[in-house]
Chains A and B, each alone.
Chain A
Amino acid sequence: MKTLVNIFRELTGLFIDDGLFALAIGVVVVLAAIVAAIAPAVPIAAGVVLLVGCLGVLLYSR
């Protein structure tokens, strides 16, 4: 069981090692999805939210 937990921890560690940083990326993706859903006539808006959001998360993460 301990080995399985360790394997799971190692696998999730490939993508997440700072919970807040991963959460911020998740929030940006969700915001982009919301924009894509409420403004289907301007699909590029979701792309702008996604790109600017990710760049902002990177710039302000310490």
Chain B
Amino acid sequence: MILTWTSAAPAVSAAFLSSLVEAVEALTIVLAVATVRGWRPAGLGALAGLATLALIVLALGPLLDRVPLHALQLAIGVLLLLFGMRWLRKAILRAAGVIPLHDEELAFATGTAALRDQARHNGARLDWLAGLASYKAMVLEGLEVVFVVIAVGAGHGLIVPASVGALAACALVAAVGFAVRRPLARVPENTLKFAVGVMLSSFGVFWTGEGLGVPWPGEDLAILGFAALFLIVAVAAVRLVRPPAVKDLP
């Protein structure tokens, strides 16, 4: 039972936190579409996006059972390493001030400006274009959620708990977003990305190793050790890449 919790808790929290970030980004675009063209194209585009995601999951889900376990672990592990370490590296660079923080207010303003610009040029076709923008946001951000759920859940039969974590995050963001009708700019996105990057990178090392036949000491508990190491190295990397302060310059 303890082993189940130690493997389920990181999977559920990784799915929840990464879905929180993706849902916030999708919501910003859907809200931008709703602000410029109303809720009809925004809602229809979002619903069509959700339907596409459901079809992808239903089509690809059963195929996972047919892939040999070691090959599945290796493929998912490498993709998780690429995905998780990319997130973690970006979070490190943002925390160090090398690249600007992701700004949902700015993304919202850019999205609405682009849609208004399209309105001037496309007139009647805009509802289609606006719906398409909403659809695309939902599919692309949703694909990341689907990937994380499959990646952290597939190896040990944790798809259902990971899905529950992801759905809870999406429901939470949707409820808060539609209540306040504004982009959720106060979500500490970089901190979340930092945490999720650490977790996904840890899962990536674990699954890639499992795929290569590495007998990790402590089995699933090794993921927690990897997470601690990735966190220490990531914090050190923030200090290493932080540009010197202005006062330190000659």
A-B contact count (CB 8 A): 87
Pick the interface stretch among B6-14, B30-38, B105-113, B208-216: B208-216
In the bound complex, do residue A14 and residue B233 qualify as a contact, i.e. CB atoms below 8 Å apart?
no
Given the known inter-chain contacts A11-B143, A36-B214, A55-B230, please indicate yes or no for A47 contacting B240, CB distance below 8 A: no
Cβ–Cβ < 8 Å partners of B88 in chain A:
58
Per-position contact with B for A39-57: 1 when CB-CB < 8 Å, else 0?
A: 0100110110011001101
B73 at the interface (CB under 8 A from A): no
In the bound complex, do residue B237 and residue A58 qualify as a contact, i.e. CB atoms below 8 Å apart?
yes
Cβ–Cβ < 8 Å partners of A62 in chain B:
98, 241
Interface size of B in residues (CB-CB distance below 8 Å): 35
In the bound complex, do residue B205 and residue A22 qualify as a contact, i.e. CB atoms below 8 Å apart?
no
Q: State the Cβ distance, B7 to closest chain A Cβ, in Å.
A: 18
In the bound complex, do residue B85 and residue A54 qualify as a contact, i.e. CB atoms below 8 Å apart?
yes
Given the known inter-chain contacts A15-B83, A44-B214, please indicate yes or no for A50 contacting B208, CB distance below 8 A: yes
Chain A: interface size category:
20 to 34
Cβ–Cβ < 8 Å partners of A50 in chain B:
205, 208-209, 212, 214
A59 at the interface (CB under 8 A from B): yes
| Chain B CB within 10 A, most for which of A11, A21, A25, A36 | A25
Contact pick for A29, options B140, B208, B217, CB 8 Å? B208
Cβ–Cβ < 8 Å partners of B83 in chain A:
14-15
Complex Cα distance A59/B238, Å? Answer: 9
In the bound complex, do residue A59 and residue B214 qualify as a contact, i.e. CB atoms below 8 Å apart?
no
Q: State the Cβ distance, B14 to closest chain A Cβ, in Å.
A: 16
Given the known inter-chain contacts A51-B226, A58-B234, A62-B241, please indicate yes or no for A36 contacting B213, CB distance below 8 A: yes
In the bound complex, do residue B85 and residue A43 qualify as a contact, i.e. CB atoms below 8 Å apart?
no
Complex Cα distance A54/B203, Å? Answer: 12
In the bound complex, do residue A15 and residue B79 qualify as a contact, i.e. CB atoms below 8 Å apart?
yes
In the bound complex, do residue B230 and residue A58 qualify as a contact, i.e. CB atoms below 8 Å apart?
yes
Contact pick for A43, options B82, B140, B213, B226, CB 8 Å? B213
Contact pick for B78, options A29, A36, A43, CB 8 Å? A29
Please report B residues at the A interface, Cβ cutoff 8 Å.
78-79, 81-83, 85-86, 88-89, 92, 98, 140, 143-144, 147, 201, 204-205, 208-209, 212-217, 226, 229-230, 233-234, 236-237, 240-241
**Given A50-B212, A62-B98, 5 further pairs, Cβ under 8 A:** A22-B86, A26-B78, A44-B215, A58-B88, A59-B233
> Which 6 residue pairs are nearest across A and B when measured between Cβ atoms?
A47-B214, A15-B82, A36-B212, A47-B209, A55-B233, A46-B212
